[in-house]
Structures are given as structure tokens and as C-alpha cells.
Structure 1
Amino acid sequence: MVDKKKNPIQVADRLFGAVEYLSAHGASTLTEVSEALGLNKSTMHRVLASLEFMNYVTQDPITGKYDLTMKLTELSFRHRQHFDLLQRIHPHLKQLVKASGETVHFVKRDGKDAVYIDKAESDQNQVQMVSRIGSRIPLYRSAVGKAMLATLSEDMVEKIWRQSTIERITPYTITDYEEFLEALADVRRRGYALDNEENEPGVRCVAASLEFMKQEAEYAFSISAPIQRMDNDRIRVLSALILETKKNIQEDFDR
């Protein structure tokens, strides 16, 4: 159990202590920061040098004073955008759950994976999906992944494919690159992507990407359900709901 009164990583105390001091007091000398944090100058100099190396701090060449860069502001802005995005997207996901009666996921592309950043489950179903917020799924074997990859250039798709550990997780997982490119062509033609038990036996998914103002998708959402409730007729119904939801979300962000 973590001792709440003592930071388990001492250097983190020093790094963030310096950041918090500069945030509160503005440009300061090495002496001022070291005295405020109770550290000797040589230790404080290494802390500030590390922050400067990571572009969180800059030193004025004339006064010698240290001050924060805009990096924290940029990080805060990105975090706020992320939070605002989820607030705006979630009602659409809940509406899709209501219309479909199935679990809906929202993901963000991160390298060769998709990361679950939101999830809305239906209270009509006893079977709950094992996915959880913060977990990852490879792009190449997921509906959300294929939906986003279909918006990328072929060079980028090939790069992500080569970076991925291609494994036949189920008998339906696509492991041949040419077959995978054909699957992406199907996504572009239909407007939505399918996961036909490619990642998890007995589970099928329908997904669409969200491009917003960009040509390349960073986000996607999907409906997932056991195969017993996901025959081809049902997929036709759910894919129409997916495409309608995509249209509604993008219209919402275009306002």
C-alpha cells in the first residue's frame, strides 16, 4: 500500500515541486527555487536542467532566471479538449445504445493500437463485454481499427501493419496483408467496418471512424455483441444505426 505522506519516487517530488513553484512565483533564480524546496543548489540545478531538457523550463541567458515554457499549457489544453470531446460524444453513444440495445465503445488511435476511452453498456443484456476503459486493442484485428486505417494512406497502413505483431488469435483473424487491404477497401466502399470474430471468439462488431476536420481518423466507435445477436440481417440494421450516428456526431461538431 502506498504511503500517502511520502512520495515513493523522490525525484518526482523535486521535479513537480519546481514546476509548482515556478507556476506560482514566475521567473526565479536557482537560489530562490532551491531555498523554497529545501534542496542544495547542485541538486536543484540538476532538477531544473532535467526540466529544461524536457522543454518544461527555460533559462533566460541574460538574467539566469528559470521560468516555465508553454508545454504545460499545451498539455492542459489537449487534456481539456479530450475531456470536452468525451462530454460531447457520450450522449450520442448513449443514444446508440438505446437504439441498438447493445454495448457501444469509443476509441482513440494510438500508434498501432486503439485505446478504449469511453464505453456505454445496455442494461437490457445480461452478457457484459470484457473491454474496459484504458485497455488496448490492435488496429489490424478490430472493427474500430479497420475503420480508422481505411482513412490512412497505404504507406501508413503498411507501416502500422509491419509494426504490429500479427497473430491468428481466432480462426477468423486476418493475417495476410493483401487480404487485409481488401478488407479496408470494403470499409471504404460500405462506410463501416466489421470484426467477424477476429479478436474474440463469439463476438462481432460494427464500427465507423470519425474524421471531424481531418482526412485521417483518430477516433472511432463501435457496436459489439455476441454472434447470436449479430447475424447478417442484424448487422445490416446496426450498420445503418452506426452510419446515422456518425452523421449526427459530425453534424454536431460542424455547428
Structure 2
Amino acid sequence: MNGKLPKVISPIKPDETQRKPKPAEAAVPARAMLEDDQVESSEKLGVFQRSFAVLEYVVRAGRPVTPADIAEHLDLPKPTVYRMIEQFEAQGLLHRRFSSKGIAIGPRLADFAFDILRSSVQYGPRRLILNALVSEIGETCNIGTLEGSEIVYFDRVEATHWPLRLHFHIGSRVPLYCTAIGKLFLAFLPERQRASMLSRLDLQPVTPHTITTLSGLEAEIDSIRREGLSVDREEYLLGVVCLAAPIFNARREITAGIAIQAPAARMPSTDAYRHRGALLVAARALGESFTFD
């Protein structure tokens, strides 16, 4: 020995490629991967269910609601609700009113709803009800509902013997204050909603028979609530008279209206009520067919 420490030779390390995997690095069993997929699918389903629940709540509320209302009703965290509302707004499904914090349905969601109604009416039992009414009374009939501050027709059946064809079609929009279905909604909507709509109406004369004063329109609304029917006495189109009945859901809320449309020469306004019975039967059958709860 020359006084120097002996050189320590390190043990040979095994080749890294030959190293045995640690327990944490072991391959994930197929069963565990399947369980992870199921959890992910369940989470996706949960997101879909929450999203649908938010949209459903806003639609069924029938009035603008606040994010706090949604969070409380659905038992969801407020941050989650705010994020969902922002996404729905970006897609046009919901709309935030500038004058308040209220959330209402957006244009895309409204269009989707009307597409569903048009499709279900045209290809379901509702079209049979409408056809039967037209065959019985021999006059053209429309079904319309409220969108914003207008009535939108989502179904129409023409009487075959009409010598004059009016330029109405599915998707046509007409005013509230001078049409039979429009006045129905003013009569049967909740008082607060009706007052809000009346305050925004511009009662311009469309024909010499149009009601152009608020007092006159309120008197007409009271009469419609008593009678259960609404008459358009050439208020929107000269020479055309309409008789309309409300279509209620199971909660007795007006969801649509059905109207008979005829020339004044064949159905003068003083004689329109002769179709009362047939119209009310059709309106009741349509309300049952919509199955709104």
C-alpha cells in the first residue's frame, strides 16, 4: 500500500431498459380504464342534464329569471350557473335583458321551439284536428302563438273553395292589438305581463275598424275574458273576419290560439259566433294534444 486509499468501484447498474417498473408505473388494467370511461361518460351526462335543466327552467318560468333564481331552484353553484348562462348567450339560446338582470329565452331557442311546433303539428294528430275543423265549417283556419310582441302562425289549412287567397303562411307574423289570436293573448296572459305589453303597444289604425285607444282595447279584453272567444271585426284586413279560441295547457295557461278566417260577406262579425261550438271543441282537443304540463 502506498498510503493511497483504494479506489472504490461502483456496482454496475442494470440497463435502464431492463429496469422493472415500479408499482405506480405498471400498466393500467383494462377494467380500470373501462371504469374511467364510465366516469367520464357519467360526467358528460351530468353536464348535459344540468344544461337542459337550466334551459327548461327559463322556458317554463314564463318570465325573465335571475341567475340566483336558477341556482336556487336547481341547487347549482352560482359560478356554474353564470358560466352556463354566458355560454348559452353566446349561442343565442338565452338572452340577458339590458334593463334588468333577468334571463329570458334567446332567438335561437325560440326558433327551435317553433320548428318543433310546426313539425309536430304538420305531421301529427294536430293537423288532423285542424283539417277536421276546416272540413266541418268550410273556412280557413290558423294556429298561432306569441313570440315577443307579435303572433306567429305555425300552422294553417286553407278552405279549398276560397276564391281569394290571402298572403299568409306558416311563420307569418301579425300584431297583437288588431288580430283575433293577438287579442286572446292580451286577454289571458297574467295581469303583470299583459300590463307590460299594453304599455308598449303603438295603436296605429290598420283599417277603419282598428281599435286605437287603450280604453277601447281594455274594454275589448274584458269582453274576450267573459266570452272565452275573440273576434277580429275587419280590424286587420278589410273584408276579413276572424273568430279565435284559446288553447290552454294543463295549468290553464294560454299557449296558442286557433282562429277561423272568412270573408265578411260569408261570416259577418255579428254572425261569427255560429262556429263557437266547433271552434271550442277543436281548441280543447289541440290543448290535449300538445301535452304541455
Instruction: Give the TM-score, by structure 2 length.
Output: 0.58
Aligned length: 190
Query: SS at the partner of 1:160?
Result: helix
Match of 1:182 in 2: 219
Partner of 1:210: 247
5 Å-filtered alignment, 1:88-167, equals 88-167=125-204
What runs of 5+ residues in structure 1 fail to find an aligned partner? 1-25, 27-50, 57-70
Aligned partners of 1:54, 1:155: CA distance in 2, in Å? 26
* Separation in 2, partners of 1:243, 1:234: 16
Deviation at 1:108, TM superposition (A): 1.5
Q: Greater relative contact order: 1 or 2 (C-alpha under 8 angstroms, separation 6 or more)?
A: 1
SS in 2 for 1:169: coil
Gap runs ≥5 in structure 2: 1-43, 45-85, 92-105
Alignment of 1:65-104 (within 5 A): 78=113, 81-82=116-117, 83-86=119-122, 87-104=124-141
2:278 counterpart residue number: 241
- Cα shift at 1:75: 8.2
Q: Report the CA distance between 1:162 and its aligned residue.
A: 2.5
1:37-48 correspondence runs (5 A): none
Q: Answer whether contact 1:204 1:230 (CA < 8 A) is retained.
A: yes
| SS at structure 1 position matched to 2:156 | strand
The alignment-based identity, stated in percent, is: 27
- Counterpart amino acid of residue 142 in structure 1: T
Q: TM-score, normalised by structure 1?
A: 0.66
Look at both structures and tell me which one has the larger radius of gyration over its CA atoms: 2
CA distance in 1, matches of 2:222, 2:252: 16
Q: 1:237 to 1:175 in 2, by over 3 A?
A: same
CA drift of 1:81 comes to 4.4
Residues 189/125 of structure 1: CA separation in 2 closer, same or farther (3 Å cut): same
CA-CA distance at 1:157 after TM superposition: 1.7
Q: CA RMSD in A?
A: 2.8
C-alpha distance in 2, partners of 1:52/1:251?
35
Q: Which amino acid aligns with 1:84?
A: S
